[in-house]
Amino acid sequence: MTQHTATERPSNALRRVLVPLALAQFICSFAGSNMNVMINDISEDLNTTVQGVQVAITIFLLVMAALMIPGGKLTDRYGRKRCFNVGLVVYGVGALLSAVAPGLGILIIGNSILEGVGTALLIPPVYILTTLLFTELGSRARAFGAISAMGGIGAAAGPLIGGLITSAISWRAAFVFQALVIAVIVVLSRRYVRDPVPADPTRPFDTGGAVLSAVGLVLVVTGILAADDNLWLMVGLIVAGALVLTWFFLSMRAKERAGREALLSMALFRNRVSNLGLVTQNTQWLILMGTSFVVSAYLQVVRGYNAIQTGVIFTAATVGLLVSSLAAERFAKRRAQRTLIVTGFVVTIVGVGLLLALVNASEIVWAFVPGLFLIGFGLGAMLTPSVNIVQSSFGDEMQGEISGLSRSVSNLGSSIGAALAGTILVAGITRTPERSYALAMATVAATGIIGLVAAAFLPGSLGTSTARSATRKSSPGR
């Protein structure tokens, strides 16, 4: 594998590899947010409710979070490219099934289950292959920047693109669009993507650990969704989920001590920098998906806007994210990664504050624009450094595990954002819409403060040299 100098840019072959990988992250993030502007259309067409659509969205995000860690581990046994391609096929089938769904149940099977499983299989290879193929930290950072930016743009532009397709054709056509993009990625993957490290078919897979981690995460998020129906059920499910996750971590430690293969190495949780980076990733996606669902639902259900109008208003977040993402490399050369993440959280929290202050003070729909723009700008500034901090904290031999954990944590943030903020909004959207909206956005702001505190504890000198040092320390075989 060709090694690049600190100033050398990736070869044309490597740049071509980035296209299908970045497109894959784009379409999976798009799938998580585009349904937000179809709430009225889907609920009317399938004879369901706003809460029913929220459940479908949350299950999709939850399936991704629950299966991302096992998906990352499977790449070691079956190969990164093979898992990537299988994930694409499963996702494509789910998209087509969703497009012809006669009711909410089939939509959940196609969109929430099959697309969720497909995403869990194809996303870990995106980050593992990027780490393995881009061996120089500068080019790796740029590659992560491109992929993370496409993910953020997919999530932020989902409402606009979904709104355009829904208004021009139908909400079903948005799923056909996803299937077409998947077909393009399959063609590009066959042509450009290669796996530099051979798979190990003899490597054992920790099925018990995979079940425990998935069940624990499902119970926690289901508990949040149950908050509107039964407080005691919510508490019971969350406590049960916490207990199962505790059981999972204890079993991982016991297996490691016995010299058996564990789903996750406990070494992943002994790296302070990576742990803080994971917290920032979780809160970033919670803010993005929570804001996307709350604002979209409020505009459609309370203000009476259709899919395209809602998507156009949410374009402000997309523009903000694009601006900061395009400037990400310039920012990275001038500022430490910690500085970028802290600044991003500050800007994002200010944006959420504006959504609360200006929207309550004005009936003009454009009052949403300043806050959405700042949220997009702040998130775009910190998505890339957060990913780079986590991935670069470990060597090549642990990329399967850290990629799965990193994506699982991010998607858990997305699912909690849609479940928590969405449940608060839906609970009173017909009775006290303004109060419910304010409570939901205040919850989003509170999680932003948690992320800001975590970012503040990152090492102040965390830049390229620190990331390189962390990688070497965690890679004794190098």
pLDDT digits (tens, 9 = 90+) for 305-329: 877 888 888 888 888 888 887 776 6
Encoded amino acid at 45, one letter: D
For the chain, state the CA radius of gyration. 21
- pLDDT band, residue 6 (cuts 50/70/90): very low
How many angstroms from the chain centroid is the CA of residue 148? Answer: 9
Q: Which two tokens stand for residue 421?
A: 């903020």
Which pLDDT does position 254 carry in this prediction?
Answer: 92
Encoded amino acid at 162, one letter: G
CA distance 313 to 299: 9
- Residue 264 and residue 212 in contact, taking contact as beta carbons nearer than 8 Å: no
- Residue 220 and residue 237 in contact, taking contact as beta carbons nearer than 8 Å: yes
Condensed to tens digits (0 to 9), the pLDDT of residues 240-250 reads 999 999 999 99
What is the mean predicted confidence (pLDDT) over 74-103? 91
In DSSP notation, 230-261 reads: -HHHHHHHHHHHHHHHHHHHHHHHHHHHTT--
Condensed to tens digits (0 to 9), the pLDDT of residues 365-409 reads 788 889 999 999 999 888 888 888 887 787 766 766 777 788 778
How many angstroms from the chain centroid is the CA of residue 345? Answer: 17
Handedness of CA 123, 129, 132, 138 (dihedral sign): negative
What is the mean predicted confidence (pLDDT) over 444-468? 77
Condensed to tens digits (0 to 9), the pLDDT of residues 201-219 reads 878 888 888 899 889 888 8
- Global pTM reads 0.76
Query: For a pLDDT cut of 70, what percent of the chain falls above it?
Result: 89
What is the mean predicted confidence (pLDDT) over 347-357? 92
Q: How many CB atoms lie within 10 A of CB 417?
A: 29
- Residue 153 and residue 322 in contact, taking contact as beta carbons nearer than 8 Å: yes
CA atoms within 13 A on the CB side of 208: 11
- Residue 13 and residue 192 in contact, taking contact as beta carbons nearer than 8 Å: yes
Within 8 A by CB and 6+ apart from 453, the residues are none
Which pLDDT does position 5 carry in this prediction?
Answer: 40
pLDDT for 113 beyond 50:
yes
- pLDDT band, residue 1 (cuts 50/70/90): very low
Within 8 A by CB and 6+ apart from 203, the residues are 76, 77, 261
pLDDT averaged over every residue in the chain: 82
Which pLDDT does position 173 carry in this prediction?
Answer: 94
- CATH value of 14-206+263-473 in 3.30.1340.10, 1.10.150.120, 1.20.1250.20, 2.70.150.10: 1.20.1250.20
Greater confidence (141 vs 56) lies with 56
CA distance 421 to 289: 9
CA distance 205 to 259: 14
- Residue 62 and residue 175 in contact, taking contact as beta carbons nearer than 8 Å: no
